[in-house]
Structure 1
Amino acid sequence: MASTRITIRDIAARAGLHFTTVSLALRDSPQLNIDTRARIKKLARDMGYRPDPMLSALQAHKRTRRNPHYQATIAWINNWPQRDDLLKIPEFHEYRRGAEERAAELGYLVEEFWTHDPATSPAKLRAILRARGIQALLVAPQPRPRTWLEFDYTDFSAIAFGYTLQPPLLHVVTNHQAHSVNLLLEKLWSLGYRRPGMYISRNWDEKVGYNWISGMMLSRWLHPTLARLPLVIDNAGRNTSAMAAWIKKHRPDVVITFSNNFVYLQGTGLRIPEDIGFASLNVGETDTHISGIRQNDRFIGRKAIDLLVDMVHRNERGIPEIPVRTLVEGVWCPGKTLRKPGASPAGRQTATHANRNPSRGGSPSARLSPNAPKPRRAD
């Protein structure tokens, strides 16, 4: 025989409290002090209270159908020494944009809190958040890998973007970079590229948990005939001359890097995609020219809000015992910086054609030889 379900009103009657107080305690609301919350939650456990899954589903359904009105503020935690530098990175700007869009749809406001504010210490920031009744934190990507953020997460639901935060670990949402690289290499393989060169620094690969390297190594295992060019560069120069020297040394037929490095490849004087291909690991949301992977950054921001709001509703607070990673798949963008299917690489032209056009044929390294036309400078 099924037992009678214990309700919030039953707990309230036993505790001698109003049912709204019990509801706040079970949702870990900072409106109640921590001792009161702990006492009520213990009583609920002792009485055998379990949330009604059908009621929870009904409440979630109502939240998606009603016109959103302001419910609460979600804190966007910015730990960059220079406050404005965070959103200068296109991916992070899209995280914020997606988060704000989804939060507004659910009736929440996203507000930034800067940890390097001279007037704010970690303890004071925590006190401010609690005083304002803010329970949910979006921890933005950190400026460096293995960054430790001095903050007490007790009483807060928190989601982090990416892998740059040092333990204690939070739940994470990010792009599935290893899959993104593997998808990219599969596309390059189908287009006939056999000497893909990854032009990224060790620091950037560390920021994504070495997933760029992981995806590249998997692709090499799947396609043993791929040339074994260096996986990462200790200090990938952010200028035309550094990229030109790297191309001359390693002779890639396609450069895998970030979209903002496209201008440096243009500056070498090589024709794209006739002489060499360009494949981006982070094609912008509205960019139709660059070929490569779009990481779906805005969707990542939206997904972070969904996960965070669900945590608030489930009363999940503090450092999780088992952190969970939510990985968002990237999508392929054909663009115009890779040769079309069936097109011949410039370095495989017939001898007759190459002789008629000596300045336009040959491999990328030949184009960058001392006798080749001097590279154009990037403006």
Structure 2
Amino acid sequence: MKKPQSHTPTLEDIAQAVGVSKMTVSRVLRGTGRSSEETAKKVKAAAEKLGYRPNPMIQTLMAGVRKKRVEQNANIAWVVTYKVNETLPDSLQEIEAGSRKRAQEMGYEMSRYHLDASHTEPEVLSRILKSRGVRGAIICPIRNTNLQPSFPWDDFAMATIGRSLSRPTLHYTMSHHYHIIQKVLDEVIARGYRKIGLLIGSTEWETRADHATIMVFQHHCSQAGLDPRVAYQTCGTWNAQDYSAWYQAFQPDAIIGDYGHRYHTLIEAGLPMDQIGYATLSWKAEDLQCSGVKQPFNDLGASAVDLVVAQIHRNERGIPQAPKAILMEGEWVEGSTLGPKP
């Protein structure tokens, strides 16, 4: 005798068990709309008792329907803390280009908003952005990591780039700085260099990198028998004499720098760079001769859009309870500044 198939619980079953409409059950289980706390508890309890499980095929279909509906009136704000008449750093321009391209591919418009240029109260700003069809916001790397911008955090789907925004904690995407410094160290060591120095322009770099760069380098120093207090230097305010004094005291055979232009600064300071290997943590096209890692700026922008759009589709907004992080790998670029150790 064939065993009868068990009945798969439906939204209608839950609605009958609780005594509410099917639409109310749907809204409660999707976390949308308004329902009393008591009703929501009853619906969730009934769903658990009946063993209800959503149909993934229907969920996929409805996500597509909601996506089309949202895109008819959806905009993503690209929020920067620079003044309107200021030129954004090259890296930020690349990130923005990557964001715009991905947003357009997904059917969204993107508009830049200069937070530094407005003293509008968050409630007023929220109404202004919503009136322009803004449903999500990408908070770009903060210019001053010691300052917290004022923004209507509760009203939009959001993501940020890097770790310069200390509060609140949002979903974020950033370069995998731990892997980047490790990749550079591996390349430098593989070519025979052992006494390696690290020069970073400011502590802002480390804040944006979530302190991964210095942590990896300090571990390297402990393994190589180097004093990290000498090997690692913050050199943003140095002049030629400072670079020369550090070189004479430490005598590095290779230097890792934050940017490619640091290489030219070292030459101008009189260091014998024809005898010292050099690699940069952030390679740029204008530094063709430099060896180093090209950071994935375009991909950072694209992945930030992915994070925001996913929240829009799920009808989520505000500060997340469990922030997600996307870490993007960098690409090694071979130049002429890091040959085999002389």
Segment of structure 1 superposing worse, 113-122 or 129-138? 113-122
Structure 2 counterpart of 1:175, which letter?
S
| Alignment partner of 1:38 out of 34, 41, 51 | 34
Q: Percent identity?
A: 27
2:126: which partner in 1?
126
- Residue 5 in 1 paired to residue 10 in 2? yes
List gaps (5 residues or longer) in structure 1: 29-36, 346-379
Q: 1:141, CA displacement in angstroms?
A: 0.5
1:136 maps to what in 2? 136
**Aligned amino acid, residue 60 of structure 2:** A
Deviation at 1:325, TM superposition (A): 1.9
Q: Check the 8 A contact 2:191/2:341 in 1, yes or no.
A: no
Q: Is the 8 A contact 1:141 1:164 kept in 2?
A: yes
Q: Answer yes or no: is 1:55 the counterpart of 2:58.
A: yes
Aligned with 1:150: secondary structure? coil
Structure 2: runs of 5 or more not aligned: 1-5, 48-52
Relative contact order (alpha carbons < 8 A, sep ≥ 6): 1 or 2 greater?
2
What TM-score, normalized by structure 2, do the two folds share?
0.80
Amino acid at match of 2:35: R
After superposition, the C-alpha distances for 1:174-230 in whole angstroms (9 at most, x for unaligned) are 011121101110110001111211111333222322111012123335x43567563
* Counterpart amino acid of residue 113 in structure 2: F
Aligned to 2:203: 202
Aligned residue in 2 for 1:368: none
* Residues 76-95 of structure 1 mapped to structure 2, 5 A cutoff: 76-80=78-82, 82-85=83-86, 88-95=88-95
Q: Deviations over 1:113-138 (max 9, x none)?
A: 11222463333211112223322110
Q: Evaluate the alpha carbon distance shift between residue 99 and residue 40 of structure 1 in structure 2; reply closer, same or farther with a 3 A threshold.
A: farther
Residue correspondences, number: 323
**Aligned-pair distance for 1:338?**
0.8
Q: Does the 8 Å contact 1:73/1:111 carry over to 2? A: yes
Cα distance, 1:220–1:59 mapped onto 2, change above 3 Å: farther
Q: TM-score, normalised by structure 1?
A: 0.73
User: Aligned ranges for residues 338-353 of structure 1 at < 5 Å?
Assistant: 338-339=338-339, 343-345=340-342
Work out the CA distance in 2 between the residues paired with 1:224 and 1:113: 47
Code of the residue aligned with 2:262 in structure 1: it is N
Q: Partner of 1:217 in structure 2? A: 218
Distance (Å, rounded) in 2 between the aligned partners of 1:305 and 1:243? 41
Paired position in structure 2 for 1:105: 105
The structural deviation recorded for 1:167 is 1.9
Correspondence 1:296-375 to 2 at 5 A: 296-339=296-339, 343-345=340-342
1:265 match: 266
Q: Which has the higher helix share?
A: 2
Contact persistence 2:98–2:299 (CA under 8 A): yes
Q: CA deviation at 1:336?
A: 1.7
Aligned-residue RMSD, C-alpha: 3.6
> C-alpha distance in 1, partners of 2:65/2:268?
55
- Aligned pairs (5 A) from 1:132-171: 132-171=132-171
Q: Deviations over 1:297-352 (max 9, x none)?
A: 1111111111211121122211111222221122211122111xxx342xxxxxxx
1:246-296 Cα distance to aligned partner (Å, 9 max, x none):
323322222211123232123235564x31122111112686432111121
Aligned partner of 2:191 in structure 1 is 191
CA contact (8 A) 2:241 2:269 kept: yes
Cα contact 1:182–1:219 (8 A) shared by 2: no
Q: Residue in 1 aligned with 2:50?
A: none
CA distance in 2, matches of 1:271, 1:233: 18
